[in-house]
Amino acid sequence: MELYGLTIHELQDRLRAGETTSAEITASVFGRIDAVEKEVRSYITLMRETAMIEAQAADVKIRKGDIGILTGIPIALKDLLCTKGVLTTCGSRILQNFIPPYDATVVEKLREAGAVFTGKTNMDEFAMGSSTETSFFGVTRNPWDLERIPGGSSGGSAAAVAADECIASIGSDTGGSIRQPAALCGVVGMKPTYGRVSRFGLIAFASSLDQIGPFTKDVEDCAIMMNVLAGYDPKESTSVPEDVPDYRQFLNKGIGGWTVGIPKEYFIDGIDPEVEAAVRRAIRVVEEAGAKCIEISLPHTEYCLAVYYIVAPAEACSNLARYDGVKYGFRSEEGRDLMEMYKKTRAAGFGAEVKRRIMIGTYALSSGYYDAYYKKASQVRALIKRDFDEAFTRCDVILTPTTPTPAFKVGERTDDPMQMYLSDIFTISTNLAGVPGISVPCGFTTAGLPVGVQFLAGHFQEGRLIQFASAYEKQAHIEQRRPKL
């Protein structure tokens, strides 16, 4: 297999044995990018020159025996993470010329671990979308079928891993934006517990929901990436000073005797029959591995979509108020005075979906409506969290579908926002509750499209998720297909 098709741990073995170099791995990845990027369009910005410099520096360290967790491994970054001296757009025209003066904390951590950065990946504008169709820089395509979407909002990051245009990547998840594209692109994607990974330097969408996490080719790589990303950051007010274990210790362990909750609310009318069949097979697999599956209830699930689409837009309208054309980013030249400049800048700088959510959020927070909408949604959110707390007294993990359907065609839902929002119906609840989740490939449809299964655990139980997902991955023996690009 070509170097670009290998996992982090496989490449690490080769690097330690002197069988390859970071420069060779990085050149292989950029060769792959040159071959398929024009079709997939995973990236907004490529960092070819700096990547080769970083790879050569990594090789010097390797020769000295100084090998970090990710030394010499090419990693892609979602384009909402600030990167010092490198264009950071958030997929929006309003930040089309923004070059940050600092690195996000996760970028610093990846640098310290020795990663080589391939570039900044495409995304739905300000992470508002489920298909990576709202980006100002164009649509990313699903490597498994170029007529279909890769999911969103981290579609570029998921597609880049699936297409072997990087070895692993970083995304963010506000309502499913790591797990949903991971499922649709046939890769592993984890959303950590809220507060487990620093959000410092993340361009915010909804501050009480956003969380950064990895996309990888298998569960072992996910554990490696979490070892780098997780940890307390005093610069970030929501970062939690919780001890971080070595997540690799949870690999290759059994799940015999574990109790798995199957929430009845997640097997609903409208779920694609092939998706449901694949997830039902996953249930049988975990039973074969020694786990006991029981039916549970998360009774407030029916309110999750409504709560999310009040809370997230309300926080977004506050966060996006800072983009006014004054200090940085795009500025309209047509305004005759300050107020007109504000209006024209925001009208031209934001896309339709971002404007829609700003208006919804502004309405929900407006005088006379706050109690009826945002306050009420926050109260119901507390009930949703309580559902999970109670469920985890009965089970070790929860198993659900990641998405209700396989990847849909580009343009199929752009005129129907509600159908688009329903793409995240199985992932939104975990962001509202703040619990961690992981999506792992569980099969393919007859059309050859990937299907993902989602595992959830209690707060700061990422290790438990990795142990469960690792055991499932080994027991399931999912066919190792690659997209035919």
Residues linked to residue 440 through DSSP beta bridges, in sequence order: 453
Work out the mean pLDDT of the chain and round it to a whole number.
96
Residues 61 and 188 placed together within one structural domain of the fold: yes
In 320-427, where does DSSP find H-type helix? 338-349, 352-365, 376-391, 417-421
Query: Which residues neighbour 429 within 8 Å (Cβ) at sequence distance 6 or greater?
Result: 298, 301, 304, 384, 388
Residues 315 and 244 placed together within one structural domain of the fold: no
% of the chain exceeding 70 in pLDDT: 100
Of 76, 119, 123, 104, which is closest to residue 203 (Cα–Cα)? 104
* H or E segment and range at residue 191: strand 188-191
Q: What per-residue confidence (pLDDT) applies to 272?
A: 96
Give yes or no: 177 in active site. Answer: yes
Residues 19 and 131 placed together within one structural domain of the fold: yes
Residues 170 and 317 placed together within one structural domain of the fold: no
Q: What per-residue confidence (pLDDT) applies to 263?
A: 97
Give yes or no: 153 in active site. Answer: yes
Tokens of 408: 């849909």
Please state the rounded mean pLDDT for residues 439-459. 98
Confidence of residue 367 (pLDDT cuts 50, 70, 90): confident
Report if residue 146 sits inside a domain. Answer: yes
Domain finish residue from 359, 378, 397:
378
379-392 pLDDT, tens digit each: 999 999 999 999 99
Distance CA 207, CA 190 (A): 18
Catalytic residue among 92, 131, 169, 177: 177
Distance CA 188, CA 223 (A): 11
Domain finish residue from 378, 394, 420:
378
Catalytic residue among 153, 154, 169, 439: 153
Distance CA 152, CA 436 (A): 18
Residues 213 and 311 placed together within one structural domain of the fold: no
32-42 pLDDT, tens digit each: 999 999 999 99
Q: Does the pLDDT at position 128 exceed 90?
A: yes
Supply the CATH number for residue 142's domain: 3.90.1300.10
Distance CA 255, CA 261 (A): 14
Report if residue 149 sits inside a domain. Answer: yes
Tokens of 26: 């990085």
Report if residue 396 sits inside a domain. Answer: no
Q: What per-residue confidence (pLDDT) applies to 376?
A: 96
Of 170, 178, 98, which is closest to residue 132 (Cα–Cα)? 178
Tokens of 448: 């050859």
224-261 pLDDT, tens digit each: 999 999 999 999 999 999 999 999 999 999 999 999 99
Report if residue 440 sits inside a domain. Answer: no
% of the chain exceeding 90 in pLDDT: 94
Q: How many CA atoms lie within 13 A of 203 on its CB side?
A: 29
Residues 78 and 154 placed together within one structural domain of the fold: yes
For the four alpha carbons of 473, 178, 306 and 198, in that order, the dihedral sign comes to: positive
**Identity of residue 455:** F
Neighbour-count burial for 171-197, b at 16+ CB within 10 Å, e otherwise: bbbbbbbbbbbbbbbbbbbbbbbbbbb
Contact 83, 32 (CB under 8 A): no
143-192 pLDDT, tens digit each: 999 999 999 999 999 999 999 999 999 999 999 999 999 999 999 999 99
Sort residue 195 into left (φ over 0), alpha (ψ -120 to 50) or beta: left
Confidence of residue 270 (pLDDT cuts 50, 70, 90): confident
Report if residue 192 sits inside a domain. Answer: yes
Residues 96 and 195 placed together within one structural domain of the fold: yes
Domain span including residue 90:
3-250
Cβ atoms within 10 Å, residue 272? 17
62-97 pLDDT, tens digit each: 999 999 999 999 999 999 999 999 999 999 999 999
Domain finish residue from 378, 408, 433:
378
Report if residue 87 sits inside a domain. Answer: yes
407-436 pLDDT, tens digit each: 999 999 988 888 888 889 999 999 999 999
Catalytic residue among 22, 28, 78, 120: 78
Residues 137 and 56 placed together within one structural domain of the fold: yes
Report if residue 343 sits inside a domain. Answer: yes
Report if residue 296 sits inside a domain. Answer: no
303-351 pLDDT, tens digit each: 999 999 999 999 999 999 999 999 999 999 988 899 999 999 999 999 9
Q: What per-residue confidence (pLDDT) applies to 421?
A: 87
Reported pTM: 0.97
**Identity of residue 77:** L
Contact 187, 473 (CB under 8 A): no
Distance CA 303, CA 305 (A): 6
Residues 191 and 106 placed together within one structural domain of the fold: yes
Residues 118 and 50 placed together within one structural domain of the fold: yes
Residues 312 and 163 placed together within one structural domain of the fold: no
Residues 92 and 229 placed together within one structural domain of the fold: yes
Tally of structural domains, the chain: 2
